[in-house]
Every structure is written in C-alpha cells, then in structure tokens.
Structure 1
Amino acid sequence: MRSWKERLTHTLLFEAGGLVMVTPLASWVSGHGPGEIGVLALGLATTAMLWNLVWNRLFDGWVPTRRRSLVQRLAQALGFELGLLVMTLPVVAWWLAIGLAEAFWLDLGFMLFFLAYALVFNTLFDHVMRRRLAQRGC
C-alpha cells in the first residue's frame, strides 16, 4: 500500500499540472476572466487534493497493486471524477452565477479532460514509483 507521503506527492503533482492546463482553458470556454476562474480553480484544486487523498487511499485498499489493468485505471479515474463532480457542482454554479445545468455541462467537459489526464498521470506515476522502488530494492 502507498504511504501518505507518496499519496501527498502524487496529489500535489497531479493538481499542479491540472491547474496549469485547465485554468486558461476554463477561462476561454466559460467567458469568465482568468482571475475569477483562477480563484475558483484554486478552490476546486484544494477540494480535489483532499478528495484525491481520500479516494486513492480507499482505491488502494480495494485494488492493492501497482500493476493495474486498464479497467481498474478507468474505475479509479472515473470514481474520483464523479465524486468530485457531485461535491463541486453547486460551488461552480454559485461562483460563476450560472444555472446548475450550465455548470453541469462545464464540469462534465472538464471531468472528461481530467479523466483522460488522470489515466495518463496515474499510469506514469506508478511506472516511475515502481522503478524508484526497484532501484532501492524495496
């Protein structure tokens, strides 16, 4: 099972990369200013980091291996994104002063983006960690 230190590193790297990619895109797609989107993105990233720690720790218990199948990786990413969507949808609607339906479609677009991003990131992260652990003889 992964340590809390490893999970924290995973989460910080994942969210930093996501913020760099998604903030300008969200500003462009939504028509809201980068500052407004940036504050929202930071709040959502903080929520996502906390959820990521909890979700991935739970998922590690259900699937305790670093060599996960594509189906397991999809389940990991989809479970994370759906949980985050449920938690953040009302906040997005409120912050951007839009309806829940519009917030849903915006969130859905980004959920699909982050689903693909999580699949790639988690696969690469596990590959790097397997190599590091093998070099240490763990």
Structure 2
Amino acid sequence: MRVHPALTLFGVLTLLVSGSLLALTAYLFSEEDYQPLPGSLRFYLGLSALVRQAPFDLGTLPAYYGSIGDGNKPAQSQVSIQGPAAQAQAAWQDWERYLYQQGCSRTEARVSGLSPLAAQYLCRDQGLVVLERVTLPGDSAARVSLTHYE
C-alpha cells in the first residue's frame, strides 16, 4: 500500500513538534533551582504570575529565583531587591500594598526559619506568600524578598 506524500509530511511534522515539546518540557524541569532573566521562557513558564507582576520602582533590577520543589520542599517563585535601607523599606511597602490588591491577607502563623522582619500572607486561590526583609552587614543595606509558595 502506497502512502500519500502529504500524509508522510504530516507525520514527520507531527513527530518534530512532539519531540520539540518533549525537549522543551525536559529543559524546563531539568534544573530544580533556577534564576531566570526577565523576558526569558523560563521567566514566563517557571515563575508564578504573582511574582512576575510584582511592582518595583527602585532604579535597581530585581533578582528572580524559582524552584520546582523536591520531596517535602514546595515549589516557589521569588523576587528580591537589594539596596539602601530606604529603598528596601519602599519596596516592602509597595509589595505589601500589591499583595493586598491581589486579595492576600496577612496571617500570624509563622513558618520556622524566617527572620523577625518577615510577614506571611494567605492569598485567595494562590497559596502562601512570605515578605521578608534582611539587613545586610556593614553598609546599612537591606534585601527584601517576596516569595510565593505554590
């Protein structure tokens, strides 16, 4: 039985597309922890929208981090900004306002291991978010992180 050339071409294209999607999936999940650059494929597919859309207006670029989780460690997306203490305080206030706008509410439950300058939020249909500020030694700088546990 002879196969029509159009069917052969369709079959080859189907295999190529399927293989490409499989390779893309393997690439995205090949690293447990990653630091995607804004605009990259991993940025859009690996980080939660809550973290990707977090506002920053500080003149410094934020650092992004993601993890697919492992065992009892949940998947997480994080954005951090490091700078002078005044910038860190402004970032905290902006992100706290942003979380309230997203329907999150502050909770007093504590996750162990957080710094004293941390606040937890439960977000409607989105899980737990931790806003944390860490004072860096030496030059009155601080780092503020918004971490979304999925």
TM-score in same-fold range (> 0.5): no
Query: RCO (CA 8 Å, sep 6+): is it higher in 1 or 2?
Result: 1
Based on CA coordinates, which of the two structures has the bigger radius of gyration? 2
Q: Which has the higher helix share?
A: 1
TM superposition score normalised by structure 2: 0.27
**Structure with greater strand percent:** 2
**TM-score for both structures, normalised by structure 1:** 0.29
